Amino acid sequence: MKLYVVRHGQTIFNTLNKVQGWADTPLTEKGENDGKLAGERLKNVKFDAAFSSDTSRAMHTAEYILAENNYQTPSLEIAPEWREYFFGSFEGGSNDVMWGAVAKAFGVAEETPDAIAAEIQDMTAIMDKIHAVDPQHIGEDATRFWQRIDGALKKLTASQKPDDHILLVTHGQLIGNLAQHYGHLLGAARPKNGAVAVFNLDDNGLQVEHFNDTETYFH
């Protein structure tokens, strides 16, 4: 099964540098265009099924992608299990505050998610640290997140055929986690808005074919 996994287009919170996991804000004009450009690069892929998380930013990006497709497209299915990681009480606040707290807890000098990921190289530890430094401890810890994604992948393999081509529109940290944890792509940074990742999913697990791709026209 080939998964074409796209990060949603730019949102208002993205432009304001605010934490956005389960929180949701509309696509910007650029975000709408991110979806259209991704759709242009995926227009020659015949999708057997299409899924998005249940956030408006993912659903609308998926609609823009499907609108560009040259084939008769499947109906978009909304899949809450593909929602972004839940950042707890940091949701809607400054990214700098959250990642600063995480960096301090790890003893990492540069207070950015990519710098933390590059130095720690363990998303399980990073998600558990976000949960630990969350003042209210209401976010997801790594165990709950991996259980959710394990279930999401099992649901896909149970419901789709092995040779299906699947569109999945979801979120930045989640896509990076897929590539690192399941695809063993070390140092996989958070993909850009509208970027495409291509994963092969079979009985041997998940393999990374493309990641954070904003250039390729797929067939």
Annotated catalytic residue within 8, 60, 165, 171: 8
- The annotation status of 190 as a binding-site residue, yes or no, is no
Per the CB < 8 A criterion, the answer to whether 129 and 102 are in contact is: yes
8 in active site: yes
Q: Is 7 annotated as a binding residue?
A: yes
The phi, psi pair for 209, rounded to 5°, reads: -100, -40
**Helix, strand, or coil here: 76?**
strand
Contact residues for 102 (Cβ-Cβ < 8 A; gap 6+):
108, 111, 116, 126, 129, 130, 133
10 is in an annotated binding site: yes
| Annotated active-site residue in 84, 131, 165, 171 | 84
CA distance 171 to 173: 6
Check if 84 is active-site.
Answer: yes
Burial of 30 per CB tally in 10 Å (0-12, 13-18, 19+): middle
Count, residues in the chain: 219
Q: Judge whether 13 is annotated as a binding position.
A: yes
Q: What residues are designated binding site for substrate?
A: 7-14, 57
Q: What residues are designated binding site?
A: 7-14, 57
| Residues labelled catalytic | 8, 84
